[in-house]
Amino acid sequence: MYTINAVASLLIILPVAAGWIRYRHIQPASNPFIWWLSLGLVNELISLWANSALGTNAVNSNIFKLVSTIMILYQLHRWNPAVFRISLVYGTAMLFLLLFMGEWAFRGSLFVFFSYQAILSALLIVFVTGYFLSKRIPDAVDWLYHDAITLICMGWLIVYTSAISTQFFIFYAGPSVTAVYVPLAFSAVNLLCNLLFLYAILCLPLNIRSFLRRC
């Protein structure tokens, strides 16, 4: 199961590679999404090493969740500054940094998973992404299959709704059940969302120079 989960997680290299190949040709407003994917790949590689060398990937996982939340809000701001002002990004960054430091002090170590931070981060991203989509989704249903921003937001909703469900599942289920179903759920979500992000990368609109060059 660990091998399956690792392979599904490392498939993020596909959208990362596609993103950097197209990086100079896409509109700059979507660049933070490529950075976020690249950070996710780095986090997965560090996790493989940490699980082998230290027995846990809690440290990099906690840091990634903090930075990831801020990066996603910044990306939403770049896509629509009128809906998500930069002051919201700064305010959220300060709030979650304080939450990170508070849970670190509460638990007394970085080598444990910060569950409160994970749940609150996921809840925030689900809420703001859902709000963003409510402002963006048009009446034409077929448009959804070609709009990269909508596809990316749907991927985030899947990832972070799954994260919330997993945290509650871990809390209520027994260790034997958790050991089987949580890795399986992570593998399925990682596989689905990595493929969805890859397709979204291919749908990202070109910048003006690259568009005119193709005309």
In a domain, 68, yes or no: yes
Tell me the mean pLDDT in the region 24-53.
94
Least confident of 3-7, 62-66, 174-178, 194-198: 174-178
pLDDT of residue 62: 95
Enumerate the β-bridge partners of residue 206.
26
The overall average pLDDT reported for the chain is 86
Q: Residue 96 in contact with residue 121, Cβ under 8 Å?
A: yes
Identify the domain containing residue 159 by its residue range.
2-134+142-210
In a domain, 71, yes or no: yes
In a domain, 92, yes or no: yes
Q: Residue 62 in contact with residue 47, Cβ under 8 Å?
A: no
Of the ranges 4-8, 52-56, 142-146, which is most confident? 52-56
In a domain, 167, yes or no: yes
In a domain, 192, yes or no: yes
Helix (H) or strand (E) holding 192: helix 175-203
- Which tokens go with 207? 């910048």
- If one counts the domains in the chain, the total is 1
7 pLDDT above the threshold of 70: yes
In a domain, 181, yes or no: yes
pLDDT one-digit tens code per residue, 140-184: 455 666 889 999 999 999 999 988 887 777 666 655 555 556 667
65 pLDDT above the threshold of 80: yes
Calculate helix-pair angle for 31-53, 13-22, nearest 10 degrees. Answer: 150
Backbone angles phi, psi at 148, to 5 degrees: -65, -40
In a domain, 191, yes or no: yes
DSSP 205: P
139 pLDDT above the threshold of 80: no
In a domain, 215, yes or no: no
Secondary-structure breakdown of the chain: helix, strand, coil percentages, each rounded to the nearest 5: 80, 0, 15
Least confident of 43-47, 61-65, 100-104, 209-213: 209-213
69 to each of 23, 26, 159, 195, 208, how far by Cα in Å? 22, 23, 12, 21, 30
pLDDT of residue 213: 59
In 3D space, the residue among 70, 67, 64 whose CA is nearest the CA of residue 86 turns out to be: 70
